[in-house]
Amino acid sequence: MADIVAQPFAFPLRRHAVALVVIDMQRDFAEAGGFGASLGNDVARVGKIVPDVKRLIEGFREAGLPVIHTMECHRPDLSDLPPAKRDRGNPSLRIGDEGPMGRILIAGEPGTAILAELAPIDGEIVIEKPGKGAFYATPLGEILKQRGISQLVFAGVTTEVCVQTTMREANDRGYECLLVEEATESYFPQFKAAAIEMIRAQGAIVGWTAHLDDLLEGIACA
């Protein structure tokens, strides 16, 4: 076991029981012409964390620890897309529409792909999720149980939506969760800051937060 410098107190990392979960680092959320940009967001904010997410992934790979990737996407026939999700707001493009990188957030389309710099390698798990959280309507829970995973380190986007939702789902299922601050981002800096505060409030009510260098040092020594 290694104690990772974290907030609100040290995270007791157990090497045999930990996995990294990288949430939705997809072209549609990080590149011009994707779904995130169609909503009027500054996708450059997501692009800026790619080097740190890559360092985190490589650190887990070098330590021989499991890496799990998630992708928010839907079936081509939209049978897993509730109208309440598709119709919300007033975006220039909606989920399922044709965009510059293919149909928006549809499995197998170019824009739905994970960024090339962060692409999964052979043996890494990829979870296609129709919701914000990675446990809903996916096999993630069973996969973690089969592998004896009880601790999850999180990275990805956006901090306050898919990342925080998955952390709360995991927390309710008994997992110890840690968010790497430099490896997550929001289109709205105040939302990221608020989410981080909520996650670690009241004695890590949802989970811990840590800086990338502290986490990498910890997993290298664990």
Residue indicated by tokens 């040290």: 10
**Exposure class string for 76-115: b at 16+ Cβ within 10 A, else e:** eeeeebeeeeeeeeeeebbbbeebebbbbbbeebebbbbb
Of 21, 2, 16, 3, give the one whose Cα is nearest residue 179: 21
Amino acid, single-letter form, for residue 71: M
Catalytic residue numbers read: 24, 129, 162
- Three-state SS for 218? helix
What tokens were used for 137?
């309507």
